[in-house]
Amino acid sequence: MAIIGTPTPGNDVITGDEAGNQIDALAGNDTVDGKDGNDTLLGNLGNDILTGGLGTDILDGGAGFDRVVETGDFNFTLSNDKLISGNLLSKQTQTDTLISIETATLTGGASANIINASQFTGAVLLNGLGGNDTLTGGLGKDTLDGGLGEDTLTGGVGDVLIGGAGNDKFIGTTGTRVQEIADVNFTLTNTTLTGNGTDSLSGIKSVQITGSSSDNTLDASSFSGFVQFAGNFGNDQLKAGADGSSGFGGDGSDTLVGGAGVDNLFGDNGDDRLEGGGDNDALKGGDGNDTLIGGANTNLNGIHDR
């Protein structure tokens, strides 16, 4: 098999063959896939995407903002200068050398994958796919998506954790956000989130939950952190947490109830009911015949039916 694509000063897509390749992509925002073999891939100028594939590879992004992308039923361990991939089927391990790589996307497979980027300083996107995965973010603003299975996701400041279906475990700190979207009823407390399963929370202070086409109840009234919630379609009931919220009813006749913190509630379409909580809340009804009720300290300047 020959190398597909020719390096030019423009934006190129270059695919190697099964032998060991040495590819210099030159200038431009290039996508280079070395395939199998021990490859040396140089992105050179531009914002490049490099995939080594199987084998012991050298991935050098060069100048620009460069990304390494790898997919397989592997355990991955990522640091600034190397990527260790352990094949769960063959039990073989390979180590790629990384040079001038600013960000990474790593995707597992059907098995229980362990993907650890805790020693990487750039932003990462980690996808577990199937299986009971363990995903650990790094020092950048990361997104961790467990996919199917009962996953454990650990993030830091600025990270987004997405569990998906299954009973997942979220571990974070101030600045870590849990995000779930499903056509289910959600109930959120400081230690659990039920809806897409029964998820456990540790150190989580910010959660974003979104319903869909049914009449969803999103209840965060027992959560002490900040909540972003949206009902989308259907006649939804949204109840804010104690540390403020941003609520969006969407289509349908929705009920949005503020909590003890500062809430921003928007009914949008339909005949909505918005109730302020104990702080200075902003209530906006949107279209329809809406009912707006101020709470104990609601600022009247923040109440609008349109």
- The model's pLDDT over 243-265, given as tens digits with 9 standing for 90+, comes to 889 999 989 899 999 988 899 99
Determine the 3-state secondary structure of 199 from DSSP: strand
Beta bridge partners, 288, equal none
Q: What is the pLDDT of residue 228?
A: 95
In a domain? residue 163 = no
Q: Identify whether the C-beta of residue 4 lies closer than 8 Å to the C-beta of residue 23.
A: no
Q: What is the pLDDT of residue 46?
A: 96
In a domain? residue 223 = yes
d(CA 125, CA 70): 11
- DSSP label at residue 157: T
In a domain? residue 24 = no
Residues 6+ apart with CB under 8 A from 238: 218, 229, 231, 247, 249, 254, 255, 256, 257, 265
Query: How confident is residue 301, by pLDDT bands cut at 50, 70 and 90?
Result: very low
Whether pLDDT at 178 is above 70:
yes
In a domain? residue 196 = yes
In a domain? residue 289 = yes
Tell me the pLDDT tens digit for each residue of 111-168: 999 999 999 999 999 999 999 999 999 999 999 999 999 999 999 999 999 998 899 9
In a domain? residue 158 = no
In a domain? residue 188 = yes
Q: How many domains does the chain have?
A: 1
In a domain? residue 198 = yes
d(CA 271, CA 150): 39
CA-to-CA separations, 302 to 74, 258, 282, in angstroms, rounded: 52, 13, 4
Domain holding 235, by residue range, is: 173-306
- Say which residue the tokens 């959600």 belong to: 186
Q: Which of 11-25, 26-40, 141-155, 291-305 has the lowest mean pLDDT?
A: 291-305
Whether pLDDT at 14 is above 70:
yes
What share of the chain in percent tops pLDDT 90? 77
Beta bridge partners, 231, equal none
d(CA 165, CA 98): 33
- Say which residue the tokens 């027992």 belong to: 222
